[in-house]
Amino acid sequence: MIEGPIFGHSDSPASIYLRAADSVTVRGSVDLSTGDNYANGGWLDIYATNGDATLAAKVRGQGGGLGGGGYVTLDAGQDASITAPVYHPLFRV
């Protein structure tokens, strides 16, 4: 379980890969945004081979003005769930 924040914001944002034989839960905020106008947001990949993959944190992966947003992947041997609100500037509710 990851409780603290993950800060990967930079001109070349981080790619974070979390892999476990059992369950993985991320509860701390994640920032994979970029400050570079041409760059995409970063990556967050969560893999739980034999357990659950849970994302219970706010994730920010904003790309630059001419770049794309970040990516989130959850892959689990049991259940995969996102329990935090998902925000993207192009989505309208």
pLDDT tens readout for residues 70-82: 889 999 999 999 9
16, 59, 71, 10: which is closest to 39 by C-alpha?
10
Measured between alpha carbons, how far is residue 42 from residues 15, 21, 52, 53, 85 in Å? 5, 24, 23, 19, 18
Rg of the chain over Cα atoms, rounded to whole angstroms, equals: 13
pTM listed for this prediction? 0.83
Is there a contact between 43 and 35 (Cβ–Cβ < 8 Å)?
Answer: no
5: number of Cβ within 10 Å: 12
Q: What is the pLDDT of residues 6-61, one digit of tens each?
A: 998 888 888 999 999 999 999 988 999 998 999 998 999 999 999 999 999 988 88
Please report, for the chain, the start and end positions of each structural domain, with discontinuous segments joined by +.
Answer: 6-82
